[in-house]
Each structure stands twice: as C-alpha cells, then as structure tokens.
Amino acid sequence: MCREKLNIFMNRRQFLSTATLTVAALALNPPKLSWATTGCRSLAFHHTHTGEKLDITYSRSGLYNPGALEEINYFLRDFRTGDVHPIDPRLLDLLCSVKQEFGGGTFEVISGYRSPKTNKQLQQKSSGVAKHSLHMVGKAIDIRLTGVKTKKLQQCALGMKRGGVGFYAKSDFVHLDTGRVRFW
C-alpha cells in the first residue's frame, strides 16, 4: 500500500533524480550550522596585549557553563591591573552571532573588562574613553575578527541592533557592547 502511494506521487527514477540534485546542492552550498541548531556556543580569542589564546564552548543546549564563563572572565580581565569581573553572557552571545555571520574566526581582543582605575587613566590620555564606560561592568569589548575587515565587522554588528557599536578606523578595531542601541 505504501509503495502504491509513493508511485502515485513519484516514481523511483524521479525520486533518485531529486535525491541526487539535493545531495549535489548541499555539497556545493552546505548549510551553516549555528549554535541555534547545534545547541553549542563557542568562541575563539587571541588577546593582543597578553598574547594569550582561548578557544572555548561556553554554552550547550541553552545552558551556560559556569566554569567556561569563569575562564572567559579571567581571559577578558583588565590586563593592566589583573582585576577580573563577570562578563555579560549576552555580550558573548552577540560575539557568537557575529562570528556565525562570517562563518567563524578568532576574535582579536584589544580590551575586555576595564577596572575603574584603568578607565580613569585611559580617559586622561584620550577623549574617546567614556567616563561611565560599559567596559567597567563587563558589557563591552573592543575587537577585530581574523580575516574580516573592521568596516565589514562594524556593518554586521550595526545590522544586528543588539547594543552599541563603535568604529575606530585609525586604530582598526570595533567596540561592541550590550547597552542601548547606538553607534559612533
């Protein structure tokens, strides 16, 4: 009975032809597996000031791994003072989404968490450092993504509308944060 129903809609030759075309199409243009479909969220980092590297899965099946988050907190510490602060998991999810848009890559970290002391010192050297920077509460990061021009990285983040996006062409990095949507 099942065979009769199948014959009504598609004979064996049509089935094989359709299957072959589907396999060929997938081979030429494989689907991107994202953390949304695999349940895993992973990031790779290289810190430009410390030379440290971290490749880590921080979430599986929608659950954050506390140990992995602690490793990320330490990795993104204030490298000037050694102070560690919790990083907003939404910032990590934003980075994961950005990485997915470009098909992978390693984030080159210029600045993660900044202690109030470091932020004040940087403010005295540059007018571009905010007095109440979101870096001081673990909600901001300054980055590049390997193999991606920072202008393209900026455009991608702007399109996501998930927080602040700053573009620093002269210094060649992008600022991302989980504050209100804005850009500069």
In tens, the pLDDT along 39-91 reads 789 999 999 999 999 999 999 998 999 999 999 999 999 999 999 999 999 99
In percent, how much of the chain has pLDDT > 90? Answer: 72
CA distance 6 to 165: 54
Name the residue type at position 127: S
Enter the tokens of residue 150. 């920072």
pLDDT of residue 40: 81
Contact 72, 80 (CB under 8 A): no
Q: What is the pLDDT of residues 121-130, one digit of tens each?
A: 998 888 778 8
- What pTM does this model have? 0.77
Contact 54, 72 (CB under 8 A): yes
